[in-house]
């Protein structure tokens, strides 16, 4: 049997197993009710309502405290003896590397293909609301993290749900929190596998095959897909061995560079098509509130926008607190404020830039996707760039690979923390997870985009249900932590002012 036949059989076997599973699971998780002529998945509404509730409870914190968040990232309130492993900036970039990635490039293309330009508006709204949810969960993640004897830290919903609920409600809360924690760990593993691992490999391979493969080229074949998957798996396995310090070291360099390059390319396409921008923005607002549209009018555009924004920024699902818990700080709310920048960067800035790039460039592949020829993905975004920068798909391929690689690394760390919570924290246990995680990378190049999105969305929203229940119950604790940190900031500012005044007096003398 030839190598091509073997790889084709592997390709068929993977698809035959995952495709029907994806359909069945998606039908169960996204149970819908009829609303305004379309079907509204109740689980999507759950995530949106949580963001609105936390926005109100914390007094529009995403607008009122964004300046303070930037000061914290710059290290203004750092303390040399604070426990933790990484700086505020490194924790932010490590977490952003798990959100800014192919969800922004490929996920946005899916959104505007299914929901039309109007889905962009609802993605922005979801991102703004998600800033409050992210603040709550990350504050809890740092407050209830476990600090190990070797200096490493473990955090996330597996830790703050049982500890926080025990603190508030006693033994009954502890038991309920334990159930939620186990479920959260399981769903983190599943979403990490399908959204943080396989989806990234799938879309990076799609970009490689589209740019370099051709219809009959090696990279477009099953053998090329397997080869690509194995190569990425080996690289991921090597970096994962270094832990969060290794991941943070890589992502703190990759993420800013990738983000700047990508946004500059989006701006180039938008500026070249500047005369089309007013119409594009008009289409976004018109599609957001249209009575009828690609996916059932306003409700349809809202559903698609919220689904893809949630997939991209992960606000409210409990993943980001795992990375942020490693931060060096004595004040949990300080990192919560840093974390609220994530959905803004990810969704309000990067996703919006991608959507506008596609809408103003209007590539043929986008029109075909809207007419029902598949849901598209990264190739639509690539084609949009090619309308202005014919050479950019090659550079985008590099960016896609780096985005995908950094996301797989970060979600590998998230998955490892969930795995060790369920199966114990030992060298053997960690090695087993890292090996399984790396091997599964290969399957990402073989699955269909439809199946991956269905499976990833299902795991993501189930995780959101579990996590947000805990966030509602623990919100008063977060409020106390915020007030405590704001008092600390006022004290520091007063001390700094007094010191500056004394320095001036001394200078005059």
How far is Cα 384 from Cα 425, in angstroms, rounded to an integer? 46
Is the predicted pLDDT of residue 293 greater than 50, yes or no? no
Please check whether residue 327 lies inside any domain of the structure: yes
Tokens of 404: 């995908």
Q: What is the pLDDT of residue 459?
A: 80
Distance (Å) of CA 344 to CA 130, 367, 478: 9, 29, 21
213 or 178, which is more confident: 178
Structural domain contains residue 504: no
**Predicted pLDDT at 115:** 75
CA distance 210 to 499: 60
| pTM, 2 dp | 0.79
Residue 236 has pLDDT above 60, yes or no: yes
Segment 81-110 mean pLDDT:
73
Rounded to whole angstroms, the Cα distance separating 162 from 151 reads 22
Q: Looking at the domain assignment, is residue 11 inside a domain?
A: no
Confidence of residue 140 (pLDDT cuts 50, 70, 90): very high
Average pLDDT (258-265) is: 79
Report if residue 208 sits inside a domain. yes
Q: What's the domain count of the chain?
A: 1
Full DSSP string of 102-165: HIIIIIHHHHHHHS-THHHHHHHHHHHHHHHHHHHHHHHHHHTPEEPTTS-EE-SHHHHHHHHH
pLDDT at 303 over 70: no
Q: Is the pLDDT of residue 423 over 50?
A: yes
CA–CA distances in Å: residue 2 to residues 89, 122, 227, 228, 262: 50, 49, 15, 18, 41
Q: Is the pLDDT of residue 428 over 80?
A: yes
Give pLDDT, residue 151: 67
Task: Answer whether residue 14 is part of any domain.
Answer: no
Predicted local distance difference test score (pLDDT) of residue 296: 44
Instruction: Say whether pLDDT at 27 is over 60.
Output: no
Could you give the CA distance from residue 399 to residue 204 in angstroms, rounded to a whole number?
9
* pLDDT, position 479: 94
Q: Is residue 10 in a domain?
A: no
Out of 135-144, 237-246, 289-298, give the one with best mean pLDDT. 135-144
Mean pLDDT, residues 389-399 = 76
Closest CA to 350 of 277, 448, 267: 267
Q: What pLDDT does 289 receive?
A: 73
Residue numbers of the domain that contains 386 = 32-499
**Is 116 part of any domain?**
yes
Tell me, what DSSP letter sits at residue 86?
B
> What's the pLDDT at 277?
86
Position of tokens 């969704």? 347
Residue 458 is part of a domain; what is its CATH number? 1.20.1740.10
Q: Please, which pLDDT band fits residue 295 given cuts at 50, 70 and 90?
A: very low
Query: Does 5 fall in a domain?
Result: no
Decide if pLDDT at 139 tops 90: yes
């Amino acid at each position: 049997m030839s190598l091509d036949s073997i790889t084709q059989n592997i390709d068929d076997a993977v698809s035959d197993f995952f495709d029907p599973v994806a359909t069945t699971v998606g039908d169960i998780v996204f149970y819908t009710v009829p609303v305004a002529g379309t079907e509204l998945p109740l689980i999507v509404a759950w995530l949106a309502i949580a963001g609105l509730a936390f926005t109100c409870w914390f007094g529009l914190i995403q607008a009122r405290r964004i300046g303070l968040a930037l000061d914290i990232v710059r290290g203004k309130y750092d303390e040399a003896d604070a426990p933790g492993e990484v700086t505020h900036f490194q924790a932010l970039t490590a977490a952003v590397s798990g959100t800014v990635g192919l969800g922004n490039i490929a996920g946005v293309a899916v959104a505007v293909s299914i929901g039309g330009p109007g889905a962009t508006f609802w993605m922005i709204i979801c991102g703004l609301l998600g800033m409050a949810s992210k603040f709550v969960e990350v504050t809890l993640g740092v407050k209830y993290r476990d600090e190990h004897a070797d200096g490493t830290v473990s955090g996330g919903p597996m830790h703050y749900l049982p500890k926080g609920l025990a603190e508030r409600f006693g033994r009954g809360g502890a038991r309920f929190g334990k159930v939620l924690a186990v479920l959260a760990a399981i769903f983190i593993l599943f979403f990490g596998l399908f959204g943080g691992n396989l989806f990234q490999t799938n879309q990076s391979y799609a970009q490689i095959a589209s740019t370099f493969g051709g219809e009959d080229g090696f990279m477009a074949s099953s053998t090329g897909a397997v080869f690509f998957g194995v190569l990425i798996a080996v690289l991921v396995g090597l970096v994962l061995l270094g832990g969060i310090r290794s991941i943070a070291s890589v992502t703190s360099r990759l993420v800013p560079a990738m983000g700047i390059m990508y946004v500059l390319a989006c701006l180039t396409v938008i500026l070249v098509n500047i005369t089309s921008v007013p119409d594009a923005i008009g289409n976004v607002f018109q599609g957001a509130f249209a009575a009828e549209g690609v996916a059932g009018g306003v409700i349809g555009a809202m559903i698609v926008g919220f689904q893809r924004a949630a997939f991209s920024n992960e606000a409210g699902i409990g993943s980001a607190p795992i990375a942020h818990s490693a931060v060096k700080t004595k004040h949990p709310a300080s990192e919560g404020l840093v974390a609220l920048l994530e959905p803004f960067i990810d969704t309000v800035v990067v996703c919006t830039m991608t959507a506008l790039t596609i809408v103003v460039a209007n590539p043929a592949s986008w029109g075909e996707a809207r007419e029902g020829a598949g849901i598209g993905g990264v190739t639509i975004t690539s084609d949009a760039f090619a309308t202005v920068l014919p050479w950019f798909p090659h550079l985008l391929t590099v960016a896609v690979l780096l985005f995908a690689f950094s996301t797989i690394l970060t979600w590998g760390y998230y998955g490892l923390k969930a795995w060790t919570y369920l199966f114990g924290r030992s060298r053997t246990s960690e090695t087993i997870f890292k090996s399984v995680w790396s091997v599964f990378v290969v399957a990402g190049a073989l699955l269909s985009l439809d199946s991956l999105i269905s499976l990833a969305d299902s795991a993501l929203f189930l995780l959101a249900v579990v996590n947000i229940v805990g966030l509602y119950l623990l919100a008063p604790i977060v409020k106390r932590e915020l007030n405590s940190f704001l008092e600390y900031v006022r004290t520091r500012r007063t001390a700094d002012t007094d010191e500056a005044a004394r320095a001036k007096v001394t200078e005059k003398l």
